[in-house]
């Protein structure tokens, strides 16, 4: 898993609440067993029209969204089923940070396990960011996990909270497997002691 310290990136504003995991990555794409390659299916039903052509009105299809790595959304982002494929698709597409007033719990936890930083801010702060994104072409934010602050170049600054263990893991790029492998010597010794039992 990629570590996360600071990230500066272009913002794409998705003015939608209750974006659920089936909208993020529809169920028909969950058959794959790899963790990569899901980005092309992100927001499948929104990103294209019924005839398969790109939906020009969808936020990610607008020219100003090209290369965005920070997603700004409304409350309850990632609700619905608990599929880990949702953060896989967002990360594979290129997002490193998601900012919203609130997140579904399981989705929130899965983001940290996949190298992404979900940042919950107040409704008022998120509304201010939507306004700033509309005012400034190529609007960028900087997320700093070491100081737990989100800033822009126009004077916006907001503190956010991250549970210390999650912060430690993301700063050091430790997913569940990497955490376990920190004890590899003890595991090997335990297995060796049990081999003859």
- The pLDDT of 138-165, averaged and rounded, is 97
In a domain, 142, yes or no: yes
Per-residue pLDDT tens for 43-55?
Answer: 999 999 989 899 9
Phi, psi of 12 (to 5 degrees): -115, 125
Any domain includes 177: yes
**Assigned domain for 110 exists:** yes
Domain limits for position 57: 6-195
Residue whose token pair is 């504003």: 13
**1 within domain boundaries:** no
Helices (H) and strands (E) counted in the chain, each on its own, are 8, 7
Q: Is residue 190 predicted with pLDDT exceeding 90?
A: no
Q: Does any domain span residue 37?
A: yes
Residue 171 lies in a domain: yes
Q: Which two tokens stand for residue 126?
A: 């998120």
Q: Is the pTM of this model over 0.85?
A: yes
Q: Name the domain count of the chain.
A: 1
The Cα–Cα gap between 130 and 21 comes to: 22
| Per-residue model confidence (pLDDT) at position 182 | 66
pLDDT at 114 over 70: yes
* CA distances for 106 relative to 103, 156, 173, 192, angstroms: 8, 29, 19, 37
Residue 119 has pLDDT above 80, yes or no: yes
Domain-located, residue 124: yes
Q: Does 173 fall in a domain?
A: yes
CATH code at 141?
3.20.19.10
């Amino acid at each position: 898993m990629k570590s996360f310290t600071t990230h500066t990136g272009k913002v794409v504003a998705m003015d939608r609440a209750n974006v659920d995991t089936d909208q993020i990555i529809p169920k028909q794409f969950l058959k794959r067993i790899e963790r990569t390659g899901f980005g092309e299916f992100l927001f499948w039903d929104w990103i294209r029209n019924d005839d398969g052509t790109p939906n020009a009105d969808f936020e990610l299809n607008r020219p100003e969204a090209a290369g965005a790595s920070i997603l700004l959304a409304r409350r309850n982002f990632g609700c619905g089923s608990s599929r880990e494929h949702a953060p896989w698709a967002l990360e594979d597409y290129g997002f490193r940070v998601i900012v919203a007033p609130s997140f579904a719990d399981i989705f929130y936890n899965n983001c940290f396990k996949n190298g992404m930083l979900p940042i919950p801010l107040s409704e008022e702060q998120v509304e201010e960011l939507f306004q700033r994104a509309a005012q400034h072409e190529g609007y960028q934010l900087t997320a700093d996990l070491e100081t737990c602050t989100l800033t822009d170049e126009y004077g916006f600054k907001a503190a956010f909270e991250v549970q210390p263990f999650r912060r430690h893991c993301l700063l050091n790029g430790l997913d569940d497997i990497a955490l376990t492998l920190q004890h590899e010597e003890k595991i090997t010794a335990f297995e060796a002691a049990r081999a003859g039992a």
